[in-house]
Amino acid sequence: MRYATITTWEVLDGADFDIVMDRVRAKRLPALRELGAERVQVIRTSDRTIAAISEWPDKASRDTASSYIEEVRKTVRAEDNSRMTGELQGAVVAEI
């Protein structure tokens, strides 16, 4: 069964949103793809916040990638001038 994660992020005060997003596009999204994510979308939810939706083939694929993802999250504040504010995850139970 397909699996998805939704993470919410806030760009730190004083950081340039466009520069932060350039780094996300260049480094973070390709890394998730390499780890097995089939699709990753980033939605701007306000002037300083985004939500990232990652779709995985199944929970096992996401679980395999989780230790690397956690390590990256520890460095994101300093490297990307952002901080994670929340996370949801679960099986995809319907789609069109």
- Band (pLDDT 50/70/90 cuts) for residue 15 is very high
As a three-state string, the secondary structure of 22-88 is HHHHHHHHHHHHHHCCCEEEEEECCCCEEEEEEEECCHHHHHHHHHHHHHHHHHHHHHHCEEEEEEE
Residue 96 lies in a domain: no
**Each residue of 49-95: pLDDT tens digit?**
999 999 999 999 999 999 999 988 888 878 889 999 999 999 999 99
In a domain, 65, yes or no: yes
Residue 58 sits in a domain whose CATH number is 3.30.70.100
- Total domains in the fold of the chain: 1
Domain of residue 49 covers: 3-91
pTM of the model: 0.90
